[in-house]
Structure 1
Amino acid sequence: MESVRAVVYLSVCLSVLTSLCQGQRSVDNQPPSAPDEPLLRLTTRELAEALQGLLDEADSSLGLSVEKKASVIPRCDVGERCAMKHGPRIGRLCDCLRGTACNTFFLRCY
Structure 2
Amino acid sequence: MIAAAKADGHVDEQEMARIQQAIEELGADNQVQQLVEQELRKPLDPAEIARFAQNPAQASELYLASLLIADEQNFMEKAYLNELAKQLGLDAQLVAQLNLQVSGQ
> Could you tell me the TM-score, scaled by structure 1's length?
0.18
**Which structure would you say has the larger RCO, counting Cα contacts within 8 Å and 6 or more residues apart?**
2
Structure with greater helix percent:
2
Structure with greater strand percent:
1
